[in-house]
A and B are shown apart, each in its own frame.
Chain A
Amino acid sequence: MIRSDVLKTLIPMISDQLVVSNIGLPSQELHLLDDQPTNFYMLGTMGLSSSIGLGLALAQKAKVIAIDGDGSVLTNFGTLPTIANNPADNFILLIIDNGSYGSTGDQPTYAGMKTSLAKVAEACGCDNVVECSAEDTAAAVQAALDGDKMTIIVCKCESGNIKVPVIDMDAPVIRHRFMAEVSRRNA
């Protein structure tokens, strides 16, 4: 399974949740599969999906799923100690780890070599770290949603991309409709 296959299996459980989606293909794939006002698409700024997701989770009550990639976590490694030391039990970080920089042409990342992101997250102090196969990811996300503990899920999947159009929605429109939904859920 490649990332878009994994996303497809997640739609039934994340469609109505607040989702912060990583720059590039992950956002474009999610937008194509299931565009929702509850989705915050990052159009730029590699690496900050987990940080935006944590800030959002700490600021309000609704559950937040940040979809990140192995390359993006590698570029913002400082996020993991911050997450570990400021736990938000409404926060789920889903790292789709395909061992490559998918949006830029599948160049290999170190996460596909000797570096284990799950072990790094644990070493940083994150308490609930789950590493799973692509096939088991939907069940892991559902379990995290059902629980009330901050969870880091590292989904090991294959590298590869489908053809998807870019998102032509304006950034302030994405933010505005997302914030309206966040506000509605906290009313």
Chain B
Amino acid sequence: MSINQKIVSDFIKNKIEFVTTVPCKQLAGVIDEIEASKEIFHIPSNKEDEGMGLCAGAYMGGKRSAIIMQNTAIGVTINTLVTLIQYYNIPLPMLISYRGEIGEPVACQVEMAVHTKALLNQLNIPTYHFHKQSDADELDAILNHSFMAKKPVAILTDASFWQGA
């Protein structure tokens, strides 16, 4: 099973049926896998805060939801995370490409990478950093944790993690 198939299979195992995505080069494979999945309704969004609104609505409609996005989106979504997702106790797994880490070819991406964990920490969002492919062994439990706690969780996936994906 490829890492992309493993991620989507853990989503399905955790009854996630509604996924919104905003693309990143590192996430292309997993987004393709989401699109191909029969169990998951894939709805691309134009901006990540819009995507979180879609996820909140789907959750209230009885479908577990998740968002796949780049770490630059933390800057876009702080207000939505705080005043919608956290304020209303809505679970939201966020699978995030952690651009700007070791192996990054685009210098500008580092500018957001240096703030990513500090921002998530400031927001009290449980954060997990996948550096090696074996780190994804914990994904199933992390997704379960998000729905149990009714909280957003951040899964940061760096360039080393996606190597060979």
Contact = CB atoms under 8 A, between A and B. Distances in A.
20 contacts: A42-B84, A45-B84, A47-B53, A48-B52, A51-B50, A51-B53, A51-B57, A52-B84, A54-B54, A55-B57, A56-B61, A58-B54, A58-B58, A59-B57, A60-B61, A76-B47, A79-B50, A79-B53, A82-B50, A171-B87
A61 B52 CA distance: 21
Contacts of A112: none
A45 B78 CA distance: 10
Interface string B46-79: 1101111111111111110100000000000001
A99 to B, nearest CB: 23
B54 A55 contact: yes
B88 A174 contact: yes
Contacts of B88: 171-172, 174-175
B90 interface: yes
Given A52-B57, A79-B50, A59 B83 contact: no
Contacts of B110: none
B18 A48 contact: no
A81 to B, nearest CB: 6
Interface residues of B, number: 33
Contacts of A53: 57
The 9 closest A-B pairs by CB, nearest first: A55-B57, A59-B61, A51-B53, A78-B46, A44-B83, A48-B53, A56-B57, A55-B54, A60-B61
A115 interface: no
A183 interface: yes
B80 to A, nearest CB: 5
Contacts of B43: 55, 58, 82, 86
B144 interface: no
A55 B56 contact: yes
Contacts, number: 119
A43 B83 CA distance: 8
Contact of B58 (A42, A59, A175): A59
Interface in A142-172: 171-172
B4 interface: no
Interface in A36-80: 40, 42-45, 47-60, 76, 78-79
B147 interface: no
B62 A55 contact: no
B87 A52 contact: no
A182 B88 CA distance: 16
Contacts of A182: 60-62
Contacts of A59: 17-18, 57-63
Contacts of B52: 48, 51
A76 to B, nearest CB: 6
A186 B60 CA distance: 12
B45 interface: yes
A48 B61 CA distance: 16
A79 B53 CA distance: 10
